[in-house]
Structure 1
Amino acid sequence: MFPPRNSSCDREDIIAPKFKNEAALKLQLVLSLALGFSALIIFCILRPRWPSLYAAHKRRLNSKINLPALTNSFLGWIPQLYNVSETQILAAAGLDAFVFLAFFKMAIRLFCIMAFFAIVVLEPINLKFRNSPKREDDDVDPELFGSPRISYGGGFGAFKGGKDDDQSRERPYMWAYVIFTYFFAALTLYSINWETFRIIDLRQKYLGSQSTVTDRTFRLTGVPIKHRSEERIKELIEKLEIGLVDSVTLCRDWKYLDELIKRRDLLLRKLEASWAKCLKMQESSTKQHSDATQTQDADEDANGHGVNGDEEAAENARLLSSEQGRPHIFEGDRPQVTIRYGPLLLRSRKVDAIDYYEEKLRRMDEEILEARKKEYQATDTALVTMDSVASCQMVIQARIDPRPGRFLTKPTPSPSDLVWKNTYALRGIRRLKAWAITLFIVVLTILWIFPTAFLASWLSICMIDSFLPKFASWLKEHPLIRSFFQNTAPTLIVSLLNVSVPYVYDWLSNHQGMVSQGDVELSVISKNFFFTFFNTFFVFAVSRTGVDFFNVLRRFIKDTSLIPTIIARDVEDLSSFYTSFIMLQGIGLMPFRILEVGSVVLYPIYRWLSTTPRDFSELQQPPKFQYGFYLPTALLVFNLCIIYSVLLEGWKILMVGIIYFALGYFTFKYMLLYAMDQPQHATGGAWRIICYRIVIGLLVFETVMVGQIASSRAFIQSVAVLPLLPFTIWYSYYFSRRFEPLTRVIALRAIRNGGDQSEEREEEAVEEEISDDDVPHFQRQILRRGSTLDEFKERGLTFVNPSLVLPLQLPWIYRDPPPFPDDDATTEGGRSSQGHPTLILPNADSSLGIGEDNVWIDSTQRR
C-alpha cells in the first residue's frame, strides 16, 4: 500500500499534507471563491423558482407565526434574513435552532477579539523573533516518525538533566505567548459562561411558560413486577402528594403488533405499486386503442361505408375494441406475482398481483385487529402524565424510592419523538447494544485512518512520480496544477470523508436502543465530533501520517513527556493545511449547503424511481435538518481556531474562521427557518455537547502551548502555562454541577401559571429583558408557549403506541388520498375531516417540477 522505508519517497512526503508557499493558499482561495460564488449564484436563481424546496419549512408553518417572507430579488433576501430576530427564531424553529445559531454568533464575537490581538500584538512578535528560515525546534526528535535512532532530548531536557539549556531569560518575548494563552483561554471560558447564562435563562422561560402533554409527563423506569399496572402506578404517585395523575401508559411488549404494522406497510406499498403498474398498462392500452380507432374511422370514411348496417357493425366493433382496452377483463394483462409453495417451496405459479396483495392485506388487517385486542406483557417502564408541569418536574427532580434502580424518573420526549420499540426493550439488551455499537464506532474511527492516508498518498507528487513519471514531469511544468494535487486535493479528501461518514454513524446510533430521536441526534453529534476531531486533527497532529500513528502512540506511552513537544511541533507544521481546510469548508462548500445540492441532484433519481401516489407525496416532503451532520464540523473549526490562535500564522486561521462562522450563520439560519424541517427535538441539549467539546479544544490548546514554548527552551514560561490545564478540567466539573442540570429540567420557579394575573404581569416584565421592543405581543406569547415542538404541532398528541390506534390506511391508488377508514376521522358527508392535501401527480402536468406550488393545496393545513 505504501512504499518501503528504503524507497526514494519519504513516508511523510507521501501522506502528510504540506503547504510550502503562499501560492498554495492563494490557489485554494481562488478555488474556494469559484466554488462558493457559483453555488451562491445558482441558489439565488433557483430560490424564487423552487419555493417548495427552498421555502418548504416557511410554507408549512402555522399562519399565526409571523415569520417574515423573503423577497424574490437576487440578493435582497440577505439583509431581510439578517434582520430576523432571535424571538422569531424561537417561534419559527424552536430552542434547538436558537442554540445552534447562538453558537455561531458566539464564535464570531470571540474570534473577532482574538484576531484583533493576534494581528496587532502577536504577529509583530512572530515576525521579529520567530520568522527565521531554520526553526528553533528542528532538534526535537527529527527521526521520531521513521528510524529508531531517537535521542529524546526534547523540549523538557532541562527538567530531565539533558544537554539543553534553559533560555527563558534570553527569550523574554515568550511571556507574550503565556499572557495570551491565559487571556484567550479566559476569554473563551467567559464567552461560554455568558452564553450559557443567557441560554439557560431563555430556556427556562421558554419551557416554563407552557403546559403541553410532554412537559406534564415523565418516564418511570425500574417498576417492580407487582406494581406493573396502571392503577397501582397511579396510586403510588398520588400517595406522594405531589399532584394528581391524569393518565398512565404502561409500556408493554408490543413487538408482535409493531411487526404486524411494519409488514402491513410493506404489503400496502406492494399493492399500490401493482395498481400503479396496472393503471399504466391500462393507460397505454387505451392510448393504443384510441389511435387504432381513429385510423379505422378514417379508413371507413375513405371507403364510403353506409350509414345503416355497416355503421352498426362498426359500432359493435368499436365496443369490442373498447372492451379489449380494459386490461382487467383479461387474464395476463394485469401485473402478476410469482408465489412459491409446497415442500421446500419448490413449486411456484403466477397469480394476479392485485388480487393476491388485496387478499393478503385483508387477512393482515384482521390479524392486526385481533392483535390489538390482546393483553401484552407489561415491562418496567411507564409514561405518567400529571395534572400540572410543576408536579411533573418535582417528580423528575426527586428520587421516589430508596432502593437502587427502582422507580427512576426521567423526562419524556414528545410523543412524535418517542421511539416506541425501545420503550419495551429490556434494559440489559439496550445497554449491551449501546456498548457494542460504541466500541464498534471507536474501532471504525481508528480504522478510517488507513483509507484517508491511502487516498492522500495517491495524490502525492512522490507517488505519482513512482507510477506515472511522465505525468509527474508534466506537473512540474505546471505549478498551479501541481499545487492542486499537493495541497488542495488532501483538503477535498478530508472534507468528503467528513460528509460521508456521518451517515454511517447516524444509522448506527438509530440502532443503539435510545428511546427518543432527540437522544439519537445528540449521540450522532458526539460520535461525528469524535470522528472529525480524531481523524482530521489528532492523527495528523501526533504523527503527520496515518500509518505511523500507532508507532508514535507506543512511544508516547513509554515517555509521556514527549506529548506536548511533538504535538506542538507538528501542529505548527500543519497550520497552512488547516487554513486551507477551513477556507474550503467555509467559502467553498458552505454555499452548497444552502443550495441543498444533495436534494437537487437526487430529486430526479427519486422521481424516476417513484411509481405510486404515496411515493410522489413523500417525494415532496422537505429535507430534514440533522444537527449531527453540521455541528461536529463547526466544533472542529472552532477548536482549530482556538488551538492556532497564538501560534505562527494563527491570525490567518482566525480570519478564515470568522468567515466560516459568518457564512455558516446565514446559511444555517436560512435552512432552519425557511427550507428544512427538524424532526428531532432535544430542548437545547446540544449546548451541553458544545461546551464540553470546547473544553476539549482548550485542553489541546494549552497542551500545544506548553510544548510550543518548551520546544523553544523557554522552560519557565512553559511551566507557567501548566496551571491552566487543571483549571480547565475543574471548569468542566464546575459546568456539569452548576449549569448542566438546568439544561435538562425545568426549574420549579420558572414554571408559571397562565391563569394568575399577577404572574402574567410579572412574565411580561421579565420578557422585556429577552425580547426586542419591535416584536409583536403575539410573538412574545409564542416565546412563552411552545416546547420541544411548536405548541401547534403538539396539540392533540397523546402517549399511546401508534400501532394500537393508527388507522389502517387504504391503498392510495388515484390522485386524491383515500379517507381514513375509521368513523372518528370522517364527517357526515364521508370526507376526511383532516383536510388531506391533494397531490398533483406527474401525469397531470408534465411541466411540474421541484419548485411549482404543487404540494399542499390547502394552505390552512400546513403544519
Structure 2
Amino acid sequence: MNISALLTSAGINVAVCAVLLSLYSILRKQPINSSVYFGRRLAQVSPRRNYNVCFQRFVPSPSWIVKAWETPEAEILAVGGLDAVVFLRIILFSFRIFSVAAFVGIFFVLPVNYHGKEMHHEHIPSESLEVFTIGNIKQGSKWLWVHCLALYIISFTACLLLYFEYNSIANMRLSHIRTSPPNPSHFSVLVRAIPWSPEELYSDSVKKFFKKYHGASYLGHQMVYQCGTVQKFLTETERLCKMLSSDKVRHRFDILQRTLCSSASDSFRVLSEEPESINGNPPSREREISSNATEIPAAFVFFKTRYAADIAAKVLLSANPMLWVTNYAPEPHDVYWSNLSIPFGQLWLRKITSLLAAVVFMFLFLIPVTFVQGLTQLDQLQYSLPFLKGILKQKYMNQLVTGYLPSVVLLLFLYTVPPTMMLLAVIEGSISRSGRKKSACRKVLYFTIWNVFFVNILSGSVLRLVDALSSPKEIPTQLARAVPAQATFFMTYVLTSGWASLSSELMQPMGLIWNWFKRAILRQKDDLVPYSFPYHTEIPKVLLFGFIGFIFSVLAPLILLLLLVYFFLAYLVYRNQILNVYITKYESGGLLWPTVHNTSIFSLVFMQVTALCVFGLKNSKSSVTFTIPLVACTILFNEYCRQRFYPIFKNTSAQILIEMDREDERNGRMEQIHRDLQMAYNRFTLPGQELHSQAQLSHPTQSEEGRNTEDPRGMSQIG
C-alpha cells in the first residue's frame, strides 16, 4: 500500500466522522430522540420536552464536546460509578503512553526507518508505506540502536504510568468499599448443591445445617424456586403494569392497575416476605409456592454481619467439595435466575463445552480473515479472479480495495462476535448478569487479539498459518517478517474500526431506528428502556488498539498518530455516553483494572519479543543483547504489582468489613438491615412493590449503584 491509498482511507473516514458528528449534534436536539441520546437522564427525572421549533435545533454545535471535556471526574464517579472512571482511565493511560511513544517514534525512529536503505525514494503520494517501517533498515545496520533505545523509553514510561494508575485505582477501590452503604449482597451467600434428603425439604436442610455450624452468625435463608409458567405470567403482568402506569392512561386505568398488581402480588409472594422466615421458619406460603413451582437445591443464606458472610463464602463448608458450594451473592437485581437451576455438577461440563465452542468459532473466523487478507494482496486476487484485472487497474479503485475495503469487511464480520460470546457466557452458567458480561468480555478480548492481530499477521493464506503452527520454531521468524509488513493493514483498521466506530457509538443507529419504528409504526411512546454500559464490547476494543499501538510503536511508528486521534475522540465520546446515555446496573468497584493491567503487560512483553526477533533477523547482536534484560524487568515489574496491588482487588480485608459492621451497630442500623433482608431477593416483586430493603439496600449512592456479584462483597466483575 502507498501513501495515496492510506490518504484515501483516511479521507473517507474523516468525511464519515464529520458527517455523523454533525448529524448527531442535530439529532440530539430533537425531543423525539431524547430517549435515545439522554436515556440515563430521563431514567432519573421526568422528561420535559420542548417542541417549539427554533433555528438552533437544526444547526450543528460542539456543545456536547465542551460538556464532556469540562465534566470533572467526581461527577463521572457519581453518575457512572467507579467502573466508568476506571474505563476512562484506560483511555487516558493509552493516550499518555502513546503520546510519549509518538514523540520518540516520529522524531527519532521514523527518520531512521525512512533513510534506512540507500534506495531511490519515489514521489511522496506514490511512496510505499513500507519505507516508514523497520523493514526498510539494512541488515546489520548500526542505526538499530535507535530502535532499542526507543524500546527502553516506551517500556519504562508504560511501567511507570501503570504503577501510578494501579496505585490510584486501588486507593479509589478501598475508599469505594469503606463508603458504600449497606447492601443485601454484603450479608448474603448463595449456597448451591444442597444435598437431597427424602425425609425433609431443602429448606429444612439449609436451616438445620447453618444453625448447627454457623449458629452464632446465621440469620435466615430464602430458597430458590424454578417457576416456568408462574414467572412468564408475572413477566407479562409486570409489562402490563408498566404500560398502564404511563401518564397517558394512568388516570383512566388507576383502579384496574391497583387491582391487577395487588392481586398478583398477593398470589405470588415468596416465603421470606413473612417476618418469621428470616429466622429460618418457613411459613405456610412456602408450601403454596411449592405447589406451583419446583424447589431446587439452591438458597440465599443471610448472616448477621458482613464479616460472617465473607467467611462463609470463602471457606469449604463440607468435606465433599461438590456439596454445600458457596458463592458471593450477586446484587438482587443482578441475579441471573434461570442459571440458578443448573445442577452444580454440570458447570464444569458447560465450561468445557463453551470453551470448545469458542475455539471452533475462532477457527471458523479464519474464512473471513483470509478473504480480507486477499483484498490486501492484489496479485493473488487478480490471479484468483481474472475478471477483476481491468477494474483493479484503475487508480482510485485500486486505492479503495487495498486501503479501505479490507478493514470494513473485517469490521462487519466482527459485529457477530459479542453476541456469540455472550451466548457462550450464558451456557457457562453464570449466576449473575454482570458475571455473564465479565466472561463475555474476556472471550471477546481473546478472540479479537487472536483473529484481528495474529491471524492477520500469519495468514497471507491459511496454508501459511498452518505451516507456522506446525513448526513452532519458525513462528519468531514469521513474526519478524510479517509484523512490519502488515503495518499498513492495521493503519486502515484503526481508521475504520476506530474512528468510524466512535461516530457510530455516538449516533446509536440501532436505537435510533428502533425509536422511529416504535413511534411511527407501533405508535408507542414513553417506553424508556435505558441500557447499561457495554463494557464487554468496548473494553476489548480499547485494549486491542492499545495492543496494536505497543506492537508497532517501534516497528512502524506512523500508526501512533492515528491512534492518538482515536484515543482523544474516545475520551470525549465515552464521557458523553456515560453522562447521558447509559445507566449503571452493575458496579464492580474497579475490578476490571487487573485485566487491563495484565493485557498491557502482555502487550509490552510481546512488543519487546517481536522487536527482539526483528533485531535478530537484522543481524544486530548488540540490540538483541540489550533487549533481553528489558523483557526480564517487565516481567518482574508485573510480579511486583501482582503481589502489591492485586490482593486488594481479589479480596476485601477483614479490617474493613469489621469496621463497617461496628459502624452500623453504633448507629443502630443493623436491626433495620436485618429486617430489610426479608425481601431483598424476592424474585416476584412487581413495580410499586419494592420494599424499604430495595430502596435502601439495592439502590446505594449513584457512585455505587448496582454493586455485584461473584467476588468480594458485591464488588463484582465487569458489567
TM-score by length of 1: 0.64
Query: Separation in 1 of the partners of 2:240 and 2:307?
Result: 48
Q: CA deviation at 1:449?
A: 0.7
Deviations 1:535-560 (A, max 9, x none): 1110122233345311221123xxx2
Please show how residues 769-788 of structure 1 align to structure 2 within 5 Å.
none
2:12 maps to which of 31, 36, 51 = 31
Please show how residues 186-335 of structure 1 align to structure 2 within 5 Å.
186-210=156-180, 211-221=182-192, 229-236=205-212, 238-239=214-215, 244-251=217-224, 254-255=225-226, 257-262=227-232, 265=235
Q: Which residue of 2 aligns with 1:40?
A: 21
Query: Separation in 1 of the partners of 2:338 and 2:542?
Result: 33
What's the C-alpha RMSD, in Å, of the aligned pairs?
3.9
Q: CA deviation at 1:238?
A: 4.0
Query: Separation in 2 of the partners of 1:191 and 1:797?
Result: 46
Letter in 2 for 1:84: T
2:149 maps to which of 179, 184, 208 = 179
Q: Which residue of 2 aligns with 1:12?
A: none
The runs of 5 or more residues in structure 1 that have no matched partner are: 1-18, 64-70, 135-166, 274-357, 761-794, 808-818, 826-832, 834-863
1:628 maps to which of 536, 540, 552 = 536
CA contact (8 A) 1:599 1:623 kept: no
Query: Separation in 1 of the partners of 2:242 and 2:195?
Result: 46
Q: CA deviation at 1:103?
A: 0.6
For the structure 1 residues 41 and 114, does the alpha-carbon distance in structure 2 shift closer, same or farther, using more than 3 Å as the test? same
For the structure 1 residues 755 and 800, does the alpha-carbon distance in structure 2 shift closer, same or farther, using more than 3 Å as the test? closer
For the structure 1 residues 245 and 381, does the alpha-carbon distance in structure 2 shift closer, same or farther, using more than 3 Å as the test? same
- Which of the pair is proportionally richer in helix? 2
Letter in 2 for 1:454: F
For the structure 1 residues 577 and 698, does the alpha-carbon distance in structure 2 shift closer, same or farther, using more than 3 Å as the test? same
Q: Which residue of 2 aligns with 1:88?
A: 75
CA contact (8 A) 2:192 2:344 kept: no
Letter in 1 for 2:19: S
Q: CA deviation at 1:489?
A: 0.4
Deviations 1:433-492 (A, max 9, x none): 121011111111111111332355468645764687676424423x12220012210011
Q: Which residue of 2 aligns with 1:745?
A: 651
Q: Which residue of 1 aligns with 2:407?
A: 491
Letter in 2 for 1:579: M
Letter in 2 for 1:232: K
Query: Separation in 2 of the partners of 1:657 and 1:85?
Result: 24
Query: Separation in 2 of the partners of 1:624 and 1:402?
Result: 41
Q: Which residue of 2 aligns with 1:51?
A: 34
1:800 maps to which of 681, 691, 697 = 681
Query: Separation in 1 of the partners of 2:596 and 2:463?
Result: 31
Please show how residues 681-720 of structure 1 align to structure 2 within 5 Å.
681-720=587-626
Letter in 2 for 1:199: I
Query: Separation in 2 of the partners of 1:458 and 1:660?
Result: 24
Letter in 2 for 1:248: H
Query: Separation in 2 of the partners of 1:690 and 1:366?
Result: 44
Deviations 1:568-621 (A, max 9, x none): 21100011211121122333331121111221234344556748x7xx665x31
Q: Which residue of 2 aligns with 1:505?
A: 421
Query: Separation in 1 of the partners of 2:522 and 2:531?
Result: 17
Q: Which residue of 2 aligns with 1:788?
A: none
The runs of 5 or more residues in structure 2 that have no matched partner are: 47-55, 122-137, 244-259, 271-284, 668-675, 696-719
Q: CA deviation at 1:663?
A: 0.8
CA contact (8 A) 1:379 1:424 kept: yes
Instruction: Report the 3-state secondary structure (helix = DSSP H, G, I; strand = E; otherwise coil) of the residue aligned with 1:520.
Output: helix
CA contact (8 A) 2:601 2:634 kept: yes
CA contact (8 A) 1:586 1:659 kept: no
CA contact (8 A) 2:545 2:563 kept: yes
Deviations 1:520-544 (A, max 9, x none): 1111111111221111110122233
Q: Which residue of 2 aligns with 1:721?
A: 627
For the structure 1 residues 401 and 85, does the alpha-carbon distance in structure 2 shift closer, same or farther, using more than 3 Å as the test? farther
For the structure 1 residues 465 and 571, does the alpha-carbon distance in structure 2 shift closer, same or farther, using more than 3 Å as the test? closer
Q: CA deviation at 1:221?
A: 4.8
Query: Separation in 1 of the partners of 2:268 and 2:62?
Result: 58
Q: Which residue of 2 aligns with 1:292?
A: none
For the structure 1 residues 460 and 617, does the alpha-carbon distance in structure 2 shift closer, same or farther, using more than 3 Å as the test? farther
Query: Separation in 2 of the partners of 1:629 and 1:131?
Result: 46
Please show how residues 811-826 of structure 1 align to structure 2 within 5 Å.
none
CA contact (8 A) 2:615 2:624 kept: yes
CA contact (8 A) 1:415 1:798 kept: no
Instruction: Report the 3-state secondary structure (helix = DSSP H, G, I; strand = E; otherwise coil) of the residue aligned with 1:385.
Output: strand
1:603 maps to which of 510, 515, 519 = 515
Query: Separation in 2 of the partners of 1:390 and 1:550?
Result: 53
Deviations 1:241-294 (A, max 9, x none): 6xx34432344xx23x23542367579999999xxxxxxxxxxxxxxxxxxxxx
Query: Separation in 2 of the partners of 1:131 and 1:58?
Result: 61
For the structure 1 residues 180 and 222, does the alpha-carbon distance in structure 2 shift closer, same or farther, using more than 3 Å as the test? farther
Q: CA deviation at 1:667?
A: 1.0
When structure 1 is superposed on structure 2, of 114-123 and 518-527 the one drifting more is 114-123
For the structure 1 residues 593 and 483, does the alpha-carbon distance in structure 2 shift closer, same or farther, using more than 3 Å as the test? same
Query: Separation in 2 of the partners of 1:272 and 1:117?
Result: 58
Letter in 1 for 2:546: F
Identical columns (%): 19
Query: Separation in 2 of the partners of 1:754 and 1:383?
Result: 20
Instruction: Report the 3-state secondary structure (helix = DSSP H, G, I; strand = E; otherwise coil) of the residue aligned with 1:645.
Output: helix
CA contact (8 A) 2:347 2:429 kept: yes
Query: Separation in 1 of the partners of 2:269 and 2:591?
Result: 41
Query: Separation in 2 of the partners of 1:635 and 1:34?
Result: 26
Q: Which residue of 1 aligns with 2:349?
A: 432
Query: Separation in 2 of the partners of 1:461 and 1:645?
Result: 27
Letter in 1 for 2:309: C
Q: Which residue of 2 aligns with 1:770?
A: none
Deviations 1:336-367 (A, max 9, x none): xxxxxxxxxxxxxxxxxxxxxx9xx99xx899
Please show how residues 341-490 of structure 1 align to structure 2 within 5 Å.
372-374=289-291, 381-396=298-313, 404=321, 409-454=326-371, 457=374, 461-462=378-379, 465=382, 472-477=389-394, 479-490=395-406
Deviations 1:785-823 (A, max 9, x none): xxxxxxxxxx98944351xx445xxxxxxxxxxx98x9x
CA contact (8 A) 2:152 2:630 kept: yes
Instruction: Report the 3-state secondary structure (helix = DSSP H, G, I; strand = E; otherwise coil) of the residue aligned with 2:222.
Output: strand
Please show how residues 648-663 of structure 1 align to structure 2 within 5 Å.
649-650=556-557, 652-663=558-569
Instruction: Report the 3-state secondary structure (helix = DSSP H, G, I; strand = E; otherwise coil) of the residue aligned with 1:677.
Output: coil
Query: Separation in 1 of the partners of 2:632 and 2:678?
Result: 48
Q: CA deviation at 1:709?
A: 0.2
Letter in 2 for 1:99: V
Deviations 1:639-669 (A, max 9, x none): 010011111x31x222211111111111111
Query: Separation in 1 of the partners of 2:316 and 2:537?
Result: 36
1:517 maps to which of 433, 436, 448 = 433
CA contact (8 A) 2:494 2:563 kept: yes
TM-score by length of 2: 0.76
CA contact (8 A) 1:249 1:383 kept: yes
Letter in 1 for 2:11: V
2:489 maps to which of 563, 569, 577 = 577
Q: Which residue of 2 aligns with 1:320?
A: none
When structure 1 is superposed on structure 2, of 501-510 and 540-549 the one drifting more is 540-549
When structure 1 is superposed on structure 2, of 466-475 and 526-535 the one drifting more is 466-475
For the structure 1 residues 440 and 34, does the alpha-carbon distance in structure 2 shift closer, same or farther, using more than 3 Å as the test? same
CA contact (8 A) 1:230 1:249 kept: no
Q: CA deviation at 1:106?
A: 1.0
Query: Separation in 2 of the partners of 1:367 and 1:82?
Result: 48
Query: Separation in 2 of the partners of 1:483 and 1:127?
Result: 22
Q: CA deviation at 1:692?
A: 2.0
Bigger CA radius of gyration:
1
Query: Separation in 2 of the partners of 1:92 and 1:452?
Result: 40
Instruction: Report the 3-state secondary structure (helix = DSSP H, G, I; strand = E; otherwise coil) of the residue aligned with 1:644.
Output: helix
